[in-house]
Structure 1
Amino acid sequence: MKPLIWIIDEEWSDYQTETSILKDAFPDCEIRHSGNDYLKDLDDFGKDADAILCQVYIDMPKETIEKLTRCQIIAVYGGGYDRIAIDAAKEKAITVTFVPGYCVEDVSDYVIAAIYFFNKNLSYYFAAADKGPWGAQAAGRLNPRIQSSTLLIIGLGRIGRTVAQKALRMGMTVLACDPRIDAAAEAKQGIRQVSLDEGLALADFITIHTKYDENVHHLIAAEQFRQMKQSAHIINTSRGKVINEADLIEAVQAKTISGAMLDVISEEPPMGNEPIFHVPGIHVTPHVSYLSTESLETLKRRAAGNVVRILQGEKSEDAVF
């Protein structure tokens, strides 16, 4: 068997891990690479790929999938697959895989780091350090201790639950908004189930961990920001479009809420001149919350392993359907 395997990505610096796994299984396989703008390559050679490995933010619409002549698998480098036209893949019997759970520790650590960042007013103190006042004289607004604060988790899946466990160990009050959870079972763990409205009104910190689909598009918008405390901060590591960015900008500028930490934004990768990058109080990181040496290795190995299993006629536990 001499399969053609097509990698669509501009993020990784090398593909040694994937190449080793793929070549071990298929010594004669051909591995081709394209960047984010892959449409010309689709017509030139990509349409004949037996397998596709693609970055999580690569759009794979119905029009692309319909051109694929012999593809057996689209393996997504990531924990989501919202940019893949799943129904179109089903129609062509193309397996779609993702890599759930590979970065639970990493993303949850990012959320906890953001909570500490905001609670200790670090951005304010970084700016104030060389301005003259020192010690208590340099203090801006004082915050309650973290153990006196309340965290609302929107979406209590793998990552949300791990955030909850870490926050409980920090002494925080933990609320969760997720209709799928067993309220009585979570209460035994110290997590109280609440409605979105109730949680927004009570929380000092809000962290979002929902899967993205049309039901959560702009779940957090102007109405929701008005329900929050003026001192509240929101953290988003799920998908950018869960938050209405224009409404977030307005809420922070108007001091309706205090600020935000975003590892995801509406359009990824960005052009770089988006308004979200230029608002004091809104901190944006370039979709890196999932990264560690361990998570990246796991991601690459599982994504490539999914390709091997499907091309060898096996099934993958990471299959979407």
Structure 2
Amino acid sequence: MAVFNLTPSDPSSFILTGIPGLEAAHVWISIPFSTFYIIGLLGNFMLLFIVGKEHTLHKPMYLLLCMLALTDIATPTFVVPKALCIFWLNLKGISVAGCLTQMFFLHTVSVMHSAVLVTMAFDRYVAICNPLRYASILTNARVAKLGLLGLIRAVLLILPLTLLMSRQSFCANRIIPHTQCEHIAVAKMLCGDITINRTYGLMLLFVLIGFDLTLIALSYGLIIKAVLKISSRKTHQKALNTCTAHLCVMLTYYTPSLFSNLTRRFSHYIAPYIDIILADLYLLIPPMLNPIIYGIKTKELWEKVGKYSCRK
């Protein structure tokens, strides 16, 4: 087995240890890691393929699904290959520039993912509350512009965090007890006071997730209000069914995200390996489940999946 010849004192590198305390089980842990990753890639690439091939699916809702699929492909791809190199080949070294680059893209995609969920909530609000104006309010071009704004917001918010860290010096102990260059884990390697880094990271967590969740809650509050005014029970069911998939996707994303981030910052009673496994699963489970949820819950998409599966 190849071993990366690196010492913690190397001024241009870090060492990612993987999952401390479970080193003997790294090969076994890699099995679910790689399985979840492959299933997620297959599901999301299939979604992109079907939407791209079917002109009847070239609608705002499916354009948003494609944006979600792209973030679901990117998120684990920035983490899993390096984690598998640690688990299988014991290649634990990563350059400082590579570590900061991974951190930047990982958090940027996470913020972008949240922006897509907000836009999807707005899409459902317009579809239910203003169905007659849906086609004029949400065009493909407008959805694409909202996606671009979400990407710009993500870059502008995460870039200062990365630049701030790149300008500070790192201590001699460059061992990161993690499988990835997550912000808090890298910040602990900084010499001196890291209050600014911690404060900015915590502010991003509450402002972004708090702001995005507020917009989503507002959208669904208006949706519920509109649905309650409808007298037909069948129409009630139809309206709520259009939101089920989005609600499931939000739960699989925000719940583990909040739990993982808060326990990482405030809990001193959880074993480190549990925290690291939760952080990794948070990056693996939602990308694997999202295409499955939308494939099952969206009738039009499910029919197209069946069409291509039967053809093959």
TM range (shorter): under 0.3
TM-score with structure 1 setting the length: 0.24
- The structure carrying a bigger strand percent of its residues is 1
Q: Which has the higher contact order (CA 8 A, sep 6+)?
A: 2
TM-score with structure 2 setting the length: 0.24
- The structure carrying a bigger helix percent of its residues is 2
